[in-house]
Amino acid sequence: MACVATSATVHLVVEKDPFRHFANELRHADLTIGNLECVISAKGKPIDKPYTFRAPKQALPLLKKYFSAVSVANNHTGDFGKAAFVDMLNSLDQQSIPYFGGGRHLREAHQPFIREIKGKRIGILGYNGFFPRSFEALDHVPGSAWLDEDFVIQGIRQAKHQLHVDFLVVYPHWGWEYQKLASARQRAMARIMIDNGADAVVGGHPHVTQDIEVYKGKPIFYSLGNFVFDGFSDDDTRTGWLLRITLASDGSMDWRVREAKIDTLGVPRPGRMLRADHFSDADPVLHRFSTSALRADYFFINSRR
Ligand SMILES: [Zn+2]
């Protein structure tokens, strides 16, 4: 079986390992993916936007310890400018920490992360759809892969047909903050992803968990919510999900979600578990779960310096 654990936004507290309460959950997977929602670099200056996040390079060993790959497709990896972004990519390369959803130019930014596990090729494509669009990678400009319909269709088809990915996860950074139900655009885009070959869609950004849907038998997790992330005070924003997808050799898929309860320092602790059999594939209507019953971890690193 190939397991894929994906985690939500992580805001890293480097003085003490903020992942420690999830060490077992994160390690017991063949592949562990997180969204790195900050820049790791001492270079650059904060750009003109409401919140800017960066972490020191001491954060890198923690990423390496827990994650197989991180997504840099989000609205914070560009917070300190292009030079800081590229400096982070260089550091990730030096530490052999794979990343996806961003790169030194358009082509690199749109490449999927692929790893073969137990005879199956698992692929992950990351896209950012939340402003500022200045973070977008262009032909000769570093940045994130922009969540554009044409790019997404092209990326999925390339992964499935040219790169022979058996199981493809699309990992979009999207949606409106603090909205517990996905928007019409998220729903439309998720359908386009699955219509073109995605096997699962796992999203984030809204700081809260959103609903889960099944479309053509494929799960859509619109938002995993926060994971390692401080600065929030209410229960919804201090609840995230660690999603675990398990693939059987016959190609069937199972998933479950572990709730993460985030303390005042931004450190998540394991909460309740919800399994895939809590919802029926025969009922493709919106499945709204109680947010207090679910949790996934989203990987976001931030330091307030
Ligand atoms: Zn975000």
Cα of 161 to ligand 1 centre, how many Å? Answer: 30
Residue 211 confidence (pLDDT) = 87
Residues around ion ligand 1, judged by CB within 5 A, are 74-75, 205
Write the CATH number of the domain with boundaries 2-298: 3.60.21.10
pLDDT tens digits for 76-93?
A: 999 999 999 999 999 999
Distance from the CA of 119 to the center of ligand 1, in angstroms?
34
Q: Using alpha carbons, select from 268, 272, 264, 266 the residue that is nearest to residue 297.
A: 268
- Specify the pLDDT at position 231: 85
Least confident of 49-63, 81-95, 168-182, 191-205: 49-63
For residue 230, the CA-to-ligand 1 centroid distance in Å is: 14
Q: Which residue has the higher pLDDT, 84 or 277?
A: 84
C-alpha 38 to ligand 1 mean position (Å):
9
Q: Is the pLDDT of residue 286 over 80?
A: no
Domain segments of the chain as ranges: 2-298
pTM for the structure as a whole: 0.89
Q: At what angle do helices 184-195 and 149-157 cross, to 10 degrees?
A: 30
CA 157 to chain centre: 20
The rounded Å distance from CA 131 to ligand 1 centre is 9
- The helix or strand, by DSSP H or E, that contains position 150, with its residue range, turns out to be helix 149-157
Q: Residue 160: its pLDDT value, please?
A: 98
